[in-house]
């Protein structure tokens, strides 16, 4: 949340934050006769059970702006309302309206606000706050395109190639036993931190097309591609398709298991004890320049959505968050984060 203005049709809302004694530290210290020593323990000189004169409330309200077009909430709120009708929710039994529920979900995705703070802002108990969040994320995830839909979309606009790359979404240090003793499934040896591996397809200009299910951070990108169905789809990518609609898939050297597929293009690997030819080096430079935009797609999602900075929710369901971010990035006009 940022108490600043933003051009365009942005979401404006009000929020609350706990009262802090630092808001009025200097006059308060003068009232109780303690001056010039900011390190003194105020509790020893003042009874905090009674607020000082002039402070009748312990809550401070402030205006805030979400860096997202209003159309994002207008797109999401009818889907939340339809979901409530589908599960038989009676009218007037929910604390949040579909509109407020949509804003609630967007605040979490864009600003990464703690669930405790979100619940406090909307006067929700902790359990209900989580229930609203997961309901919003599940509704968003149900709207996400399938892998087949994403590939068809790339063909329909005439793209010559798509990018495939994996990205690690950091998580808390969740301990999940792996296939062997002492092996943590969500610990990535490559990145030296806990996280979930997400496979992302992107357009030639670096726009995300599809996000796969979350896989443990320990898994290699080629293994994650196999487990999420990307490998099977790429193996049959251009079979039965007219020549003018053929797609190539650009990958990096980590996708060793995919490089033999006809549609896959990977850089040349330097032979052991040898060197690449000038033609191979030129090919690698061209390939790297085109494939680098696949990494841009991953970076765009992480820069625009603070909820992906570090996830404290169920790591197996990170794809729900990433899918919600993807849909808002695609349909909601989300800009970069507002400055601090």
Mind listing the pLDDT tens digit for each residue in 187-225?
888 888 899 999 999 999 888 999 999 999 889 999 999
Q: Angle of helix 70-86 relative to helix 318-331, nearest 10 degrees? A: 130
Over residues 97-107, the mean pLDDT reads 93
Over residues 20-47, the mean pLDDT reads 44
Q: Do 83 and 90 contact (CB within 8 A), yes or no?
A: no
Tell whether the model's pLDDT for residue 98 goes beyond 90: yes
Over residues 308-316, the mean pLDDT reads 87
Tell whether the model's pLDDT for residue 316 goes beyond 60: yes
Tell whether the model's pLDDT for residue 309 goes beyond 50: yes
Tell whether the model's pLDDT for residue 20 goes beyond 50: no
Tell whether the model's pLDDT for residue 34 goes beyond 50: no
**Chain-centroid distance, C-alpha 58:** 33
Q: What are phi and psi of 248, to 5 degrees?
A: -105, 150
Mean pLDDT over each residue of the chain, to the nearest integer: 81
Over residues 85-114, the mean pLDDT reads 91
Q: Do 247 and 161 contact (CB within 8 A), yes or no?
A: yes
Pick from 166, 298, 164: nearest CA to 221:
166
Cite the DSSP H helix spans in the chain: 25-31, 70-86, 98-111, 115-121, 126-143, 147-156, 221-227, 230-235, 278-304, 318-331
Find where tokens 């205006």 sit. Answer: 63
pLDDT at 100: 93
Provide the pairing of β-strand 248-250 with 264-265: parallel
Domain ranges within the chain, ordered by starting residue: 145-315
What is the C-alpha to C-alpha distance for residues 42 and 196, in angstroms, rounded to an integer? Answer: 45
pLDDT at 125: 92
- 294 pLDDT band (50/70/90 cuts)? confident
Q: Structure pTM?
A: 0.75
Structure tokens at 40: 């003194």
Residue 203 vs residue 182, higher pLDDT: 203
Residue 3 vs residue 276, higher pLDDT: 276
pLDDT at 336: 45
Which DSSP category does 257 fall into?
A: G
pLDDT at 54: 54
Tell whether the model's pLDDT for residue 264 goes beyond 70: yes
């Amino acid at each position: 949340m940022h108490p600043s203005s933003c051009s365009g049709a942005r979401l404006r809302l009000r929020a609350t934050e706990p009262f802090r004694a630092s808001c009025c530290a200097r006059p308060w210290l003068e009232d109780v006769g303690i001056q010039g020593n900011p390190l003194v323990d105020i509790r020893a000189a003042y009874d905090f059970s009674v607020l000082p004169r002039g402070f009748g409330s312990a809550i401070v309200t402030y205006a805030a702006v979400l860096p997202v077009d209003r159309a994002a909430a207008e797109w999401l709120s009818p889907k939340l309302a339809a979901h409530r009708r589908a599960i038989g929710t009676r009218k007037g039994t929910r604390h949040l309206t579909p509109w407020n529920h949509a804003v609630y979900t967007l605040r979490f995705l864009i600003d990464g606000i703690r669930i405790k703070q979100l619940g406090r802002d909307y006067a929700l108990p902790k359990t209900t706050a989580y229930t609203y969040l997961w309901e919003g994320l599940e509704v968003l995830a149900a709207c996400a395109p399938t892998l087949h839909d994403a590939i068809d979309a790339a063909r329909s606009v005439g793209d010559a190639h798509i990018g495939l790359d994996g990205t690690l979404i950091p998580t808390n240090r969740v301990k999940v036993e792996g296939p062997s003793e002492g092996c943590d499934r969500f610990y990535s040896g490559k990145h030296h931190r806990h996280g979930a591996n997400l496979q992302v397809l992107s357009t030639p200009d670096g726009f995300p097309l599809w996000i796969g299910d979350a896989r443990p951070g320990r898994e290699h990108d080629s293994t994650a591609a196999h487990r999420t169905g990307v490998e099977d789809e790429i193996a049959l990518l251009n079979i039965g398709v007219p020549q003018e609609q053929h797609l190539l898939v650009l990958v990096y050297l980590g996708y060793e298991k995919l490089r033999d597929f006809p549609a896959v293009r990977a850089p040349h690997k330097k032979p052991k004890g040898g060197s690449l030819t000038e033609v191979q080096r030129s090919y690698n430079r061209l390939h790297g320049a085109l494939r680098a935009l696949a990494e841009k797609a991953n970076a765009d999602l992480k820069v625009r959505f603070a909820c992906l900075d570090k996830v404290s929710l169920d790591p197996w369901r990170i794809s729900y968050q990433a899918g919600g971010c993807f849909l808002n990035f695609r349909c909601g006009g989300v800009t970069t984060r507002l400055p601090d």
